[in-house]
Amino acid sequence: MSILPLSILCALTAYAQLNDSTSLAEVEFAQLTQRDPNPLGEKALSINPTQWKHGETEHFIYHFVHSYIATPVSVEAEFHYRVIAKELERNQPATDTKSHVYVFETAQDWAQFQGLGELEKWTGGIHSGGSLFIVRNPKQKFSGNALGHEIVHLVIHRFYPDGVPLWFNEGIAQFISKSATSSYQRARGYISKPHSIAIALDDLIPLPLLVNATRVPNDHVETFYNESERLVRFLAAEDKASFLLFLDALGRHQPFETALSRNYAGKFPTSAVLEEKFREYASKDFGTTLQQADAD
């Protein structure tokens, strides 16, 4: 009898967790363990009302048309939940409230719904009040980490129910979904590594503007996402324990400057000190072959 090397055991475990050949079980609406208090949920289900089926997993409830579309969504959702909980060192929050995910399948239904919420243009999803609305065309796969990105928003909403600043919400969604997407693909035998995009020094959004933004600036969409991701990555890498305390403070709506000076006192007593170090980090590797090889 031979003992399997640890790496193979890990791969097998990952495979077992990711094995989505078992399709998501359908549950009658009346049998779902929780209702969505979000009025947008009710509006979604009123579009072609007879088409909707329902199902649930440990942390999410799904409303969908075909289970073969919803099944991979549910696998990816639970996978991301585990990655975020681990990254933020959180177990299940005090409540066991599940997040609702609505999966539309036709352009017509989606067009009817779309005007009701604020679309995240880059992913094509609408995240509202802890629920996620997406359209999945059976013929067209969600690109890269777009679904994962939206799922991170859902989980962040559960962990920080009072809301977090935009830069942090978008930055962590990019940071986690990129690394999760690569490990997800690696577990399925694809070669993949996470990308973090360096930014030209001249293009960087000044830190005070970045951390106080309440909307993604229309003329700097890509920079906003990339720079937010690098800021999250930088703060987490500098000191993980401080990072988690800093996030809790932001989740309690403490101003950036206060949260920073209280939790990173030894390193970044002011945001000016942080900005100087961060600019160097954010633009590192820009324009080098490493960056080019790394770019999507």
Q: In this complex, which beta carbon is closest to Zn ion, that of residue 55 or of residue 171?
A: 171
Number of residues that bind Zn ion (CB under 5 A): 3
Q: In this complex, which beta carbon is closest to Zn ion, that of residue 180 or of residue 274?
A: 180
Helix H or strand E segment including 14: helix 6-18
Take residue 36 and report the two structure tokens written for it: 């969505």
Shortest CB 153 distance to Zn ion, Å: 6
Shortest CB 156 distance to Zn ion, Å: 10
Q: Which range in 21-29, 80-88, 115-123, 214-222 contacts Zn ion by CB under 5 A? A: 115-123
Which CB contacts under 8 angstroms, 24+ apart, belong to 258-267? 264/235, 264/238, 264/239, 267/238, 267/239, 267/242
Phi, psi angles (nearest 5°) of residue 101: -125, 125
Q: For the segment 157-216, give every residue that binds Zn ion (CB under 5 A).
A: 170, 173
CA gap 106, 229 in Å, rounded = 32
Q: In this complex, which beta carbon is closest to Zn ion, that of residue 66 or of residue 220?
A: 220
CA gap 209, 282 in Å, rounded = 16
Closest by Cα among 218, 243, 210, 256 to 121: 218
Q: Going residue by residue from 124 to 163, which x/- string records binding to Zn ion, judged by CB under 5 A?
A: ----------------------------------------
Q: Which residues pair with residue 294 across a beta bridge?
A: none
The two beta strands, 60-64 and 53-56, are: antiparallel
Shortest CB 158 distance to Zn ion, Å: 16
- For 145, which DSSP code? T
Q: Going residue by residue from 30 to 69, which x/- string records binding to Zn ion, judged by CB under 5 A?
A: ----------------------------------------
Q: In this complex, which beta carbon is closest to Zn ion, that of residue 223 or of residue 242?
A: 223
- Alpha-carbon Rg for the chain in angstroms: 20
Shortest CB 262 distance to Zn ion, Å: 27
Contacts to Zn ion by CB under 5 A = 120, 170, 173
